[in-house]
A and B are shown apart, each in its own frame.
Chain A
Amino acid sequence: MNRRSRRIVGVLVQAALLLALVALIAWAGDNALAQLRARGIQAGFDFLLQPAGFEIGESAFAYDSSQPFWRAFAVGVGNTVRVALPALVLATLLGLLIGIGRLSTHLLLRGLSTAYVETLRNVPLLVQLFMWYFALSELLPAADAALQPLPGVYVSKSGLSLPWPVWAEGAWWPTSLEWPEVGGFNVSGGAAVTPEFLAVLLALATYTAAFIAETVRAGIQSVSAGQRQAAQSLGLTGAQQLRLVVLPQALRVIVPNTTNQYLNLVKNSSLAVAIGYPDLVSVTNTALNQTGRAFECIAVMMSVYLLLSLLTSALMNRYNARVALRGWS
């Protein structure tokens, strides 16, 4: 085949591909419209403005069932972000420690870090999430006998309560701390989080930490031994070698891989629906069952996750540009 005929074949194959795709979409769309008509379900996104009619267990902002569907979706997104962000911070800290621990020359530290990574990585997140939730919601004491690990901090079946700063009218900084109190059946006052929130947070953070630890380990190992020896011969201490010489170079390998783990964490937060934490998936599921508008609800959910993913990778890429090797490539 000469170049000209190869180009013609290329154009023809691509045209056929495109045509097949359009035909498939048209056929599927036709089927969908026919079935929706037969079932009397309306299509369109107008339902987002109608009252949702269902309550949501917890929310970052005020919400009740008379508010429109779009507010309900916003509550779901808020809950997803509210649990994913702290999980991300916790996972990073824990992962960094364990990743460094896996390469430590200290026998116990190395052994424990390795055991942590091998155990947590090999069990599905869903199983771990269920385990955390069961432990937090069934094995802890009831609220009236709440454990008090630190003064003012209460842990019980109904969640975790912390002292929380309160602002007086018009004040710029917190004027006092509100302390939680143990009442007859519950703990009131202060800041409280539900066992569902806590289970999702802990499961996501500990699971992702195992993966981040592996990327940290790979990053540190990618720095050549000569760098460390040179730092040693300059008289830097072990911690200084790590902080000033090894980590800045390792970050170039660590950051892109950690970005992937962050993306996974955000997507994995969708498992929260399994234990009844009202995240985006859970709200979508309820809305879908109430309205029957599968396309619209799933489209909203998928677009939000895509946006969150894009946002995460955009932020991480900006950070990556700062740590990446300059003047090369």
Chain B
Amino acid sequence: MSWRSQLFGSPWRALLSLLLGGLLLWLVPRLLDWAVVHAVFRADLPACRALDHAGACWGVIAEKGRAILFGRYPFGQQWRPLIGMLLLSAVLGFSAWPRAWRAHALLALWGLGLPLFLLLMRGGVFGLETVPTHLWGGLPLTLLLSVCGLAAAFPLGVLLAFGRRSAWPVAHSLCTTYIELVRGVPLISVLFMASFMLPLLLPPQWKTDVLIRVLVGLTLFTAAYLAEVVRGGLQAVPQGQVLAARALGLTELQVQRDIVLPQALRAVVPALMNSFIGTFKDCSLVSIVSLYELTGSLGLALGGDPEWRPFYLEGYLFIGAVYGLLCFAMSRYSRFIERRLGAAPRRAT
């Protein structure tokens, strides 16, 4: 259909076009006016005040950007999380490249990259000042939580999915109960549990770091959701594959690991990516148990400063854009992988 007939093909269409067009004509100039024409881009407090919200004060990002991105990390040391973040992004980017998918290479890459990142953040060696984890914050913390949380939750989720499909009644009922219990409660309650109850459940001499506790909570929560996604994939693998593999004389472990699991995971790539995006967004909740990742560090940066406090909205729009871009990139990547896997020859091994 041509755009002309799409917009004006019938009286109803014309009416709808007029309504929506009118809305856009009213809204867009006002938005542009606020966000660009009348906006102040310098960190100039009097100029921002003079606007009286008639224009955006992007100066708040210029003034507080580093505090928002790096949280309470010591100001003079912020090159460390910056380099760490670049390093982690490089590792992530490389792992996202299908040609690099060799198990040993990836394991080596992550085995080197992640400790190096933690070392940079933590310090205490090579003359780097030690920065305790409660000062970590901002975007590096968001990345760390989502990457580590997912890396730990994935194997657990796969185990739970196999357990739920297991013919062993004890394994089946334990895994089913766990998955359904965790999926029935909100993440906040799991984080509460991790921060209030976990210290009680462990011997008092085990001083657990709040970051570790939150990671444990996040992992246990995410695993239940990943388990259901993986289970969906396992169900999609035809029984003939299992029978054929057994007939070839593979052991039960080989059948599941080499035949069933790869096909199951391939079938649920979009759903897995959706879960990853969900976990990335869920990390914003850890600010409720006083870990200041991106969302929390915005609150620290602006909430504690009465002068810049009126410009919270601009701050939220800024981190909203950061989250939005990263999530959008992930969902685009998911489509790319889906197409690529779909195009790859499906061998009936």
Is residue B204 contacting chain A, with contact meaning CB distance below 8 A?
A: yes
Residues from chain B with a CB closer than 8 A to the CB of A288 are 192, 196
B185 contacts A by Cβ under 8 Å: yes
Q: A281-B188, A298-B193, A302-B189 are in contact. List 6 more A-B contacts (CB 8 A).
A: A35-B204, A109-B20, A126-B285, A126-B287, A281-B192, A306-B181
- Interface: A130 (CB within 8 A): yes
Surface stretch bound by B, among A116-124, A153-161, A224-232: A116-124
Interface residues of A (CB under 8 A from B): 10, 13-15, 17-18, 21, 28-29, 31-32, 34-36, 38, 105-109, 112, 118-119, 121-128, 130-131, 134-135, 138-139, 263, 267-268, 270-271, 273-274, 281, 284-285, 288, 294-295, 298, 301-302, 305-306, 309-310
Q: How far is the CB of B138 from chain A (nearest CB, A)?
A: 14
Asked, given contacts A270-B186, A294-B196, whether A122 binds B7 with beta carbons under 8 Å apart, the answer is no
A residues near B7, Cβ cutoff 8 Å: 106-108
| In the complex, residue of chain A having the shortest beta-carbon distance to the beta carbon of B18 | A108
Q: Which residue of B lies closest to A306 (CB)?
A: B184
User: In the complex, what distance in Å separates the CA atom of A274 from the CA atom of B288?
Assistant: 7
Which of A18, A270, A285, A295 counts the most B-chain CB atoms under 10 A from its CB? A270
Chain A nearest CB: distance from B185 CB in Å?
5
Cβ-based interface call for B128 (8 A): no
Specify which of A13, A29, A273 is in contact with B188 (CB 8 Å cutoff). A273
Sample (27) of A-B pairs whose CB atoms are under 8 Å apart: A10-B168, A14-B169, A14-B171, A17-B170, A21-B174, A31-B202, A105-B6, A106-B7, A107-B3, A107-B6, A108-B20, A121-B327, A122-B277, A122-B324, A122-B327, A123-B320, A126-B284, A127-B319, A130-B295, A130-B312, A131-B320, A134-B313, A270-B186, A281-B188, A298-B197, A302-B189, A305-B189
Q: Report the 3 A-B pairs with minimum CB-CB distance, sorted nearest first.
A: A122-B327, A14-B170, A270-B186
A14's contact among B24, B168, B183, by CB below 8 Å, is which? B168
Tell me the complex Cα distance, A28–B20, Å: 60
Q: Which residues of A contact B100 (CB under 8 A)?
A: none
- Taking a contact as CB atoms closer than 8 A, the residue among B185, B299, B317 that contacts A302 in the complex is B185
A228 to chain B, nearest CB (A): 15
A124 touches which of B197, B200, B281 (Cβ 8 Å): B281
- Determine the distance from Cα of A106 to Cα of B9 in the docked complex, in whole angstroms: 9
Kindly identify which residue among A28, A125, A139, A273 contacts B288, using a CB–CB cutoff of 8 Å.
Answer: A273
* Interface residue? B49 (CB, 8 A): no
What is the size, in residues, of chain B's interface with A at 8 Å between Cβ atoms? 55
Tell me if B328 counts as interface (CB < 8 A to partner A).
yes
| Nearest neighbor of A122 in chain B, beta-carbon distance | B327
Q: Which of A13, A18, A271, A298 contacts B196 (CB 8 A)?
A: A298
Say whether B36 faces chain A, with CB atoms less than 8 Å apart. no
Per a CB cutoff under 8 Å, which of A38, A123, A128, A267 touches B186?
A267
Given known pairs A108-B7, A127-B320, A131-B320, the reply for A18 and B170 (CB within 8 Å) is: yes
Residue numbers in B under 8 Å from A135 (CB-CB): 313
In the docked arrangement, what's the CA distance between A119 and B53, Å?
A: 23
Seen from chain B, the residues whose Cβ lies within 8 Å of a Cβ on chain A are 1, 3, 6-7, 13, 16-17, 20-21, 24, 53, 167-171, 174, 181, 183-189, 192-193, 196-197, 200-204, 277, 281-282, 284-285, 287-288, 295, 299, 310, 312-313, 316-317, 319-320, 323-324, 327-328, 331
Per the bound structure, the CA–CA distance linking A130 and B187 in Å amounts to 18
Evaluate contact between A127 and B196: CB separation under 8 angstroms.
no
- Provide the bound-state CA to CA distance between A149 and B156, in Å: 53
Asked if residues B189 and A127 are in contact (CB atoms below 8 Å), the reply is: no
* A105 contact from B1, B287, B316, B328, Cβ within 8 A: B1
CB pair A298 B323 closer than 8 Å: no
How many angstroms from the CA of A296 to the CA of B122 in the assembled complex?
36
Rounded to whole Å, the gap between the CB of A7 and the closest CB of chain B is 10
Measured between alpha carbons, how far is A285 from B188 in the docked complex, in Å? Answer: 11
For B287, list chain A residues within 8 Å (CB).
126, 274
A271-B324 in contact (CB<8A): no
CB of B284 within 8 A of CB of A118, answer no
Chain B residues near A14: list those with CB within 8 A.
168-171
CB contacts (< 8 Å) of B192 on chain A: these are 281, 284-285, 288, 298, 301
Which B residues touch A273, using CB under 8 A? 188, 288
Docked CA distance A160–B279 (Å): 34
Shortest beta-carbon distance from A318 to chain B in Å? 18
With A106-B6, A271-B285, A298-B189 in contact, is A122–B323 under 8 Å at CB? yes
B161: min CB distance to chain A, Å = 16
- A14→B168 CA distance, assembly (Å): 7
CB pair B331 A305 closer than 8 Å: no
Cβ–Cβ contact B316 & A134, under 8 A? yes
Docked complex Cα distance between A304 and B277 (Å): 28
Minimum CB distance partner of B24 in chain A: A108
| Residues on A with beta carbons closer than 8 Å to the beta carbon of B171 | 14, 17
Q: Shortest CB–CB separation between residue A273 and chain B, in angstroms?
A: 7
- Give the docked Cα–Cα distance between A273 and B189 (Å): 11
**Interface pair A126/B170, CB less than 8 Å apart:** no
